[in-house]
Structure 1
Amino acid sequence: MPHISIHVAFWAVFIVLLLGTCGLAIWKGGPAERYGALLILFFALLWEFGRLLPPSFAPWMPLVQLVGDGLTAVGLLVVAMRYASLWLGGALLFQAVQFSLHSFYLVTGRPIDMLYLLINNVNLYAILGCLALGTAMSWREQRRALRTAEASRPTLAL
């Protein structure tokens, strides 16, 4: 029973971090961070709402999750091709691990166990970490550009 409460705690922390990180990226990040955050947020929330489907959809959920992972990866790849950024490379690598994890469990028919939960949770936190790092770097660059613009602005001498 304790492992269920730990999983619920990880899930609650993940939702808070997901909304906070994506919100910060949309608010303070550059275009790459905004598009990446919207993609990550859309597919994560879509998956969470997918849990509300009736039990008759349960056999299809691993396949739906795999397709969602693939679409997230393709979306991040498109953003990475448009805005070459280090955080996108990291997020794409972690998204590939996520896709591989889900495909392994789907193909082998292995039931979800603690190893799956551990890898899945660490991986999702790592993707959010990449987004947060990218947002921080973009925010810093924006502030530096603003300070440079203000410093180079001519002053009127009276």
Structure 2
Amino acid sequence: MPMSPFLISLLAVIFSVCLFAIVKGGPAERRAGLIFAAGTLGVELIHSAVPRDLQGGLLLAMDGFVAGGFLLVALRYASAWLGAAMMLQGFQFSLHAYYFVTGAKRDNTYALLNNLDSGGVLLCMLIGSIIAWRKRGAGK
């Protein structure tokens, strides 16, 4: 299925923030950027290669992967941005769990909440990366 220009733009923003975190962020931001980029790739693979009726459990597992990865990073590097990102990722996991367990069809509300949540995680990662970059610059 061809991707819409809107989806291509969203993916460009996601991978730009992840790349910024990897290049300019500290160790926590680098790891979080890699985890989020891998999760995004996984989600896109699920959407493109798995039948729609089987996607729910795999999307839930992918959110579990990202949340678990963020938890491991948070255990090593404590920071406010990472705590906020983990809370948002936990919400996203519960959103997927709700739709998976109830068997509800993924509708516009699901898409809106999912996209707002992903944007919040990206914003947290971007803020954390900018802070780490500025701290490193101030130390020189």
Q: In which range does the TM-score fall when normalised by the shorter chain? A: over 0.9
**TM-score for the superposition, normalised by structure 2:** 0.92
Q: What is the DSSP-based 3-state SS (H/G/I as helix, E as strand, rest coil) of the residue aligned with 1:66?
A: helix
Partner of 2:17: 21
1:66 alignment partner AA = L
Q: What is the DSSP-based 3-state SS (H/G/I as helix, E as strand, rest coil) of the residue aligned with 1:51?
A: helix
Larger Rg: 1
Partner of 2:128: 134
Percent identity, please: 37
Counterpart-to-counterpart distance in 2, 1:97 and 1:12 = 25
Coordinate RMSD, CA, aligned: 1.3
Unaligned stretches of 5+ in structure 2? none
Counterpart-to-counterpart distance in 1, 2:16 and 2:50 = 29
Partner of 2:42: 46
Partner of 1:34: 30
Partner of 1:68: 62
Deviation at 1:52, TM superposition (A): 2.3
Counterpart-to-counterpart distance in 2, 1:9 and 1:111 = 25
1:91 alignment partner AA = A
The reply to whether residue 112 of structure 1 matches residue 106 of structure 2 is yes
Within 5 A, what are the aligned runs for 1:137-148? 137-146=131-140
Q: 1:9 to 1:37 in 2, by over 3 A?
A: same
Q: 1:32 to 1:126 in 2, by over 3 A?
A: same
Deviation at 1:9, TM superposition (A): 5.8
Counterpart-to-counterpart distance in 1, 2:10 and 2:97 = 22
Partner of 2:90: 96
Unaligned stretches of 5+ in structure 1? 1-7, 147-158
- Cα offsets for 1:20-54 (capped at 9, x unmatched): 10010111100000000000000111111222215
Q: What is the DSSP-based 3-state SS (H/G/I as helix, E as strand, rest coil) of the residue aligned with 2:48?
A: coil
Q: What is the DSSP-based 3-state SS (H/G/I as helix, E as strand, rest coil) of the residue aligned with 2:9?
A: helix
Deviation at 1:113, TM superposition (A): 1.1
Of stretches 43-52 and 72-81 in structure 1, the one that deviates more from structure 2 is 43-52
- Cα offsets for 1:122-148 (capped at 9, x unmatched): 0011110000000000000000111xx
Q: What is the DSSP-based 3-state SS (H/G/I as helix, E as strand, rest coil) of the residue aligned with 1:111?
A: coil
